[in-house]
Structure 1
Amino acid sequence: MNFDFQYMLSLFPRIIEFLPIVLYMGTLSFLLAIVFGMIFAVIINNKYPVLYQILMVIISYFRGIPTLIQIFIFYFGLPQLFPSLSSIDAVTAVIIALSLRNAAYLSEVFRSAFLAVDKGQYEACISVNMTKWQALRTVILPQVTRIAIPPTGNYYIMMIKDTSLAFTIGVVDMMARAKLEAAVTFKFLEAYLMVGVIYWVISAVLQFLQSKLEAYVEKPYKKEAAK
């Protein structure tokens, strides 16, 4: 069977209409991962008794188990143990799984970013009568953000791509639409190549925006270095 380029192009409008659900799952998962990742990083840096040990086990679990298995556990497994969780829909299960999994990785990104900022800067802020919150907000966090943006942005791109696993539990997204089209026409290469190209373009756009954000954050430091 010859490759049908025209058919592949005809799939674009039918697949791209499900882009909003992909961006919704990926972006919400990313925001939650940042929140949980920051909390995890604080616990790890301060080594709070009991919490630290429990968290290290949790992080080891989410880093060591494939994403697809984690999605299955949240959607199919947990309701078996806790019937009250049977009301969780597929989209919510994907968001929870992706956010916790990536929070386990982002915790190390944030922890390293905090450690990269010289402790003397915090002490200097306190010495000029700044409160802890003022020191954190105006001096520490801007530097942490500058260090964390490149790896954090990469995780966002990966999370957008990982949403393609959602179709395995019944979420109707771009991958599910491509699979349906391929099942009807048996033109699997065209269908999967089209959805792959769309994800490729999304990743390229996000990488471009990330580079612009990095340049914006770096601008004050470049000006200072030029003096």
Structure 2
Amino acid sequence: MNEIEKMIGWLPALFDGLKITLSLSVISVISGLILSLFLALGKISKNKILQKLSGAYIFFFRGTPLLMQLFFIYYALPQISSVFTIKSRFIAAFIAFTLNSAAYQAEIIRAAIQSIDKGQFEAAKALGMTHAQTMRLVIIPQSYRRLIPPVGNEFIMVIKDTSLVSTIALVDLMKRTSQIQSSASSALVYIPAMIMYLIVTAIFTYVFDYLEKKFSVYE
């Protein structure tokens, strides 16, 4: 069997790992985006307590390595109390990636909101809108277009960062690649694995570029 046939034979197993990689990336970024909206609003809130709590959250998750956060959630929390034991590796990875992604996306959303002309706030206030109504009806709907490029970059980064979950034995694309490399005693498995990463990132880069051009506020 030549090397090309070997690599083709590895594809089904690699695709199984790719499914985990994509599933984890998509749900983590979407969940993180939802959480990040509340964090961003908290950080720019006039309430000092919300500002401090949101700021502390963002500082912690941006200031510590994602790998360490993953280890803490999966390995350390159960030692603090059995209540925190997470048996599913996928759930543990999902929690770590969601919390981490939320911190980065919160800063993206905060910057997008604060980039809106202050005249919008004044106009809404003149119409008798409350601060909450202004944010919900005026500011946030205008902000989402500015979010597409940085959120797209965050998503691509998460896809690549999912390779870290192999350290807790979650069988993603990276872990599956390592297993094949070990059993087949061939490092050539990294070639199709890298091509898969490249194809996936290329597809999503194209999608986000398309969305950016379609909804861009800078046109």
Taking structure 1 as the reference length, what is the TM-score of the superposition? 0.86
Which residue matches 1:218? 216
In the TM superposition, what is the alpha-carbon distance from 1:137 to its structure 2 partner? Answer: 4.5
Q: Cα distance, 1:213 vs. partner?
A: 1.0
Partner Cα separation in structure 2 for residue 172 and residue 58 of structure 1: 29
3-state DSSP of counterpart to 1:50: helix
* Residue 35 (structure 1) shift: 1.6
**Counterpart residue number, 1:122:** 121
**Shift in Å, 1:149:** 1.1
Partner amino acid, structure 2, of 1:100 = L
Correspondence 1:159-178 to 2 at 5 A: 159-178=158-177
Q: Which runs of 4+ in 1 moved over 6 A?
A: none
Amino acid corresponding to residue 48 of structure 2 in structure 1? P
CA distance in 1, matches of 2:129, 2:48: 29
AA at the equivalent of 2:28? S
1:119 shift after superposition:
1.9
Greater Cα offset, 35-44 or 118-127: 118-127
Q: Larger deviation: 104-113 or 86-95?
A: 86-95
CA contact (8 A) 1:75 1:89 kept: no
Partner of 1:191: 189
Amino acid at match of 1:57: A
- 1:22 is matched with 21
Q: Separation in 1 of the partners of 2:131 and 2:47?
A: 19
Contact 1:22-1:163 within 8 A present in 2 as well:
yes
Provide the C-alpha distance between the structure 1 equivalents of 2:100 and 2:25, rounded to a whole number of angstroms. Answer: 13
- Give the share of equivalent positions with the same residue, in percent: 33
CA shift for structure 1 position 42: 0.9
Q: What is the distance in 1 between the residues matched to 2:64 and 2:191? A: 28
**CA 1:131–1:69 in structure 2 vs 1: closer, same or farther (change >3 Å)?**
closer
**1:225 counterpart residue number:** none
Amino acid at match of 1:25: L
Equivalences for 1:1-227 in 2 at 5 Å? 4-128=3-127, 135-188=134-187, 190-218=188-216, 222=219
| Deviating more after overlay: 80-89 vs 121-130 | 121-130
* Partner amino acid, structure 2, of 1:146: R
Q: Which runs of 5+ in 1 are unaligned?
A: 223-227
Paired residue secondary structure (1:117) = coil
| Aligned CA distance change for structure 1 residues 131 and 57 (closer, same or farther; 3 Å) | closer
Q: Which one is further off, 200-209 or 86-95?
A: 86-95
C-alpha RMSD of matched pairs (Å): 2.2
Q: CA deviation at 1:206?
A: 0.2
- In the alignment, the residues of structure 2 paired with residue 130 and residue 177 of structure 1 have an alpha-carbon distance, to the nearest angstrom, of 54
Secondary structure of residue in 1 paired with 2:44: helix
Partner Cα separation in structure 1 for residue 110 and residue 79 of structure 2: 35
Q: CA deviation at 1:45?
A: 0.7
For the 8 Å contact 2:21–2:172, the answer to whether it is kept is yes
Measure the CA separation in 1 of the matches of 2:108 and 2:17: 31
Tell me how many residue pairs correspond in the alignment: 218
Aligned CA distance change for structure 1 residues 140 and 14 (closer, same or farther; 3 Å): same
Aligned in 2, Cα 1:185/1:64: closer, same or farther, shift over 3 Å?
same
Task: Evaluate the alpha carbon distance shift between residue 127 and residue 56 of structure 1 in structure 2; reply closer, same or farther with a 3 A threshold.
Answer: closer
In the alignment, structure 2 segments of 5+ residues that lack a partner are none
Contact map agreement 2:109 2:147 (CA 8 A) in 1: yes
1:126–1:64 distance in 2 versus 1, CA, 3 Å: closer
